[in-house]
């Protein structure tokens, strides 16, 4: 993890024209950025492309970064918005890919714990905003405040979404387990 001084020094170097410094920033934040894009898009190649595009945008907008927030928070917001615009653009294509992914997932489901499979299925029934909120919230090291900043939502709205999503997942899991028990 880079300290604030190191981060600022790298940003200064990038603004002075050193692309190697930007490579260090990309290397530092690539995994979080890619994970955010993956949570939005649910598809690795698309997420990789969106994350790359987000980093390129951030590079071009870097002059406008006012350093009031952490670079990472600012960057993740760009990555999130880029991934959302990819999702809107490729919605039709994504639907068919997601369908394919679900089929592949059900094949590997046999190897996993039943409860996990049921929760995973229940996730698909959550509304888009709630699903994203809970997935981003559970990415290690992201606080509620950071996710709110990233997604441009108010903290209270986000908290309600996270609680509601978890509540619905628990209810759905209970319902499925009851149904399963009855069919045995």
Site membership for other proteins, residue 56 (CB under 8 A): yes
Cα–Cα distance measured from residue 43 to residue 40, given in angstroms and rounded to the nearest whole number: 9
Q: Which stretch binds other proteins (CB under 8 A): 43-51, 63-71, 103-111, 147-155?
A: 43-51
Among 10, 41, 46, 55, binds other proteins (CB under 8 A): 55
104 binds other proteins (CB under 8 A): no
Cα dihedral: 45, 47, 50, 56 (round 10): -90
Inter-CA distances, 45 with 1, 38, 41, 83, 101, Å = 26, 9, 9, 12, 13
Which residues of the shown chain bind other proteins in the complex (CB under 8 A)?
19, 22-23, 26-27, 30-32, 34-35, 38, 44, 47-48, 51-53, 55-57, 59-60, 82, 85-86, 89, 115-116, 119-120, 134-135, 138-140, 162-163, 166-167, 169-171, 173-174
């Amino acid at each position: 993890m880079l300290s604030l001084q190191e981060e600022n020094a790298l940003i200064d170097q990038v603004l002075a024209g050193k692309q190697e410094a930007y490579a260090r920033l990309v290397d530092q934040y690539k995994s979080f950025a890619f994970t955010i894009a993956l949570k939005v898009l649910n598809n690795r190649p698309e997420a990789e492309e969106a994350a790359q595009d987000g980093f390129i945008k951030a590079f071009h907008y870097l002059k406008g970064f006012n350093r009031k927030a952490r670079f990472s928070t600012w960057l993740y917001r760009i990555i999130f918005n880029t991934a959302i615009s990819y999702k809107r653009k490729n919605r039709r294509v994504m639907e068919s890919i997601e369908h394919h992914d679900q089929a592949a997932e059900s094949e590997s489901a046999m190897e996993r714990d039943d409860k996990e499979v049921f929760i995973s299925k229940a996730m698909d029934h959550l509304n888009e905003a709630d699903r994203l909120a809970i997935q981003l919230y559970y990415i290690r090291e992201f606080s509620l405040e950071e996710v709110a900043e990233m997604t441009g939502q108010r903290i209270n709205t986000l908290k309600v979404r996270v609680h509601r999503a978890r509540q619905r997942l628990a209810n759905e899991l209970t319902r499925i387990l009851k149904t399963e028990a009855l069919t045995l």
